[in-house]
Amino acid sequence: MQGSKCGVLCAYVSLWRMLTFPLQSFFMSFRFEIEATDGKARAGRFFTPHGAVQTPVFMPVGTLGTVKGVSQDVLEELGVEILLNNTYHLYLRPGVEMVRSLGGVQKFMAWDKPILTDSGGFQVFSLSDLRKVTEEGVAFRSHLDGSSHMFTPESAIAAEIGLGADIIMAFDECTEHPADYARSRGSMEMTLRWLQRSKDYFEAHKEEVPWFGRQLSVASGQLPVNSKPDPSTGKRTVPLQDRNAGDRWGDRGPSTPVAGAAASAQDDNGGEIYAPILSQKKGKDGAPRSSSPLRNYVEPGQTQALFGIVQGGMYPDLRRESAQRTVEIDLPGYAIGGLSVGEPRPLTYEMVDAAMPYLPADKPRYLMGVGTPEEIVHYVAQGVDMMDCVLPTRAARHGLLFTSEGKISIKTARYAKDDGPLDPKCGCKVCGRYSRAYLRHLYASNELLAQVLNTVHNLAYYLDTMKAVRQAILLGEFATFLSGVRPPHLSVP
Q: Which of 182, 46, 197, 31 is nearest to 119 (CA)?
A: 197
The pLDDT of residue 300: 81
Residue 185 is predicted with a pLDDT of 98
Can you spell out the DSSP letters for 394-436? Answer: HHHHTTEEEETTEEEETTSGGGTT--SBS-TT--SHHHHH-BH
Alpha carbons within 13 A on the beta-carbon side of 350: 12
What's the pLDDT at 297?
Answer: 58
3-state DSSP assignment of residue 486: coil
- Count how many Cα atoms sit within 13 Å of the Cα of residue 432 in the half-sphere of its side chain: 5
pLDDT of residue 28: 60
pLDDT tens by residue, 154-169: 999 999 999 999 999 9
Judged against a pLDDT cut of 70, whether residue 292 lies above it is answered with no
Distance CA 125, CA 50 (A): 30
Q: How far is CA 30 from the centre of its chain?
A: 14
pLDDT of residue 271: 35
Out of 16-20, 25-29, 292-296, 370-374, pick the least confident.
Answer: 292-296
Q: Mean per-residue pLDDT for 308-317? A: 98
Model pLDDT for residues 54-76, shown as the tens digit of each residue: 999 999 999 999 999 999 999 99
In this predicted structure, what is the pLDDT of residue 487?
Answer: 57
Label residue 6 by pLDDT band (50, 70, 90): low
Residues 141/130, Cβ–Cβ less than 8 Å: yes
245 or 72: which leads in pLDDT: 72
Tell me how far apart the alpha carbons of residues 350 and 363 are, in angstroms, rounded to a whole number.
Answer: 21
**Average pLDDT, whole number, for the chain?**
82
Q: Give dist(CA 429, CA 357) in Å, integer.
A: 40
Q: Which of 412, 345, 379 is nearest to 485 (CA)?
A: 379
- What tens digit of pLDDT does each residue of 11-46 get? 454 444 444 433 333 346 899 999 999 999 999 999
The helix or strand, by DSSP H or E, that contains position 58, with its residue range, turns out to be strand 57-59
Residue-level pLDDT at 8: 52
- Tell me which of 10 and 167 has the higher pLDDT: 167
User: Who has greater pLDDT, 140 or 293?
Assistant: 140
Instruction: Note the pLDDT of residue 160.
Output: 98
Helix axes 373-381, 448-474, angle to 10 degrees: 20
CA angle (250 as vertex; 246, 252 as ends), nearest 5: 85
pLDDT of residue 234: 38
* Domains in the chain, CATH or no CATH each: 57-209+304-388 (3.20.20.105), 213-297 (no CATH), 392-467 (no CATH)
Give yes or no for residue 131 having a pLDDT over 90.
Answer: no
Percent with pLDDT over 70 in the chain: 75
Classify the C-alpha dihedral 240-246-251-257 as positive or negative.
negative
Pair 428, 457: CB distance under 8 Å = yes
C-alpha–C-alpha distance, residues 118 and 232, integer Å: 48
- Measured in whole angstroms, the distance separating CA 106 from the mean position of its chain's CA atoms is 12
Please report which confidence band the pLDDT of residue 372 belongs to, taking 50, 70 and 90 as the band edges: very high
- Is residue 482 predicted with pLDDT exceeding 80? yes
Task: Please enumerate in sequence order all residues whose Cβ is within 8 A of that of 169, keeping only pairs 6 or more positions apart, or say none.
Answer: 116, 117, 118, 119, 121, 160, 306, 307, 309, 335
Find out whether 214 and 103 touch, Cβ atoms under 8 Å. Answer: no
Percentage with pLDDT > 90 across the chain: 70
Q: Which residues are CB-contacts of 413 (< 8 A; sequence separation ≥ 6)?
A: none
* Least confident window among 98-102, 210-214, 363-367, 430-434: 210-214
CA distance 488 to 12: 40
How crowded is residue 104: how many other Cβ atoms within 10 Å of its Cβ?
A: 25
Rounded Cα–Cα distance for residues 254 and 343 (Å)? 58
Lowest mean pLDDT among 131-135, 183-187, 303-307: 131-135
- Return the active site residues: 118, 388
| Section 102-110 average pLDDT | 96
- Is the pLDDT at 137 greater than 80? The verdict is yes
What is the rounded average pLDDT of the residues 69-92?
A: 97
As a whole number of Å, the end-to-end CA separation of the chain is: 27
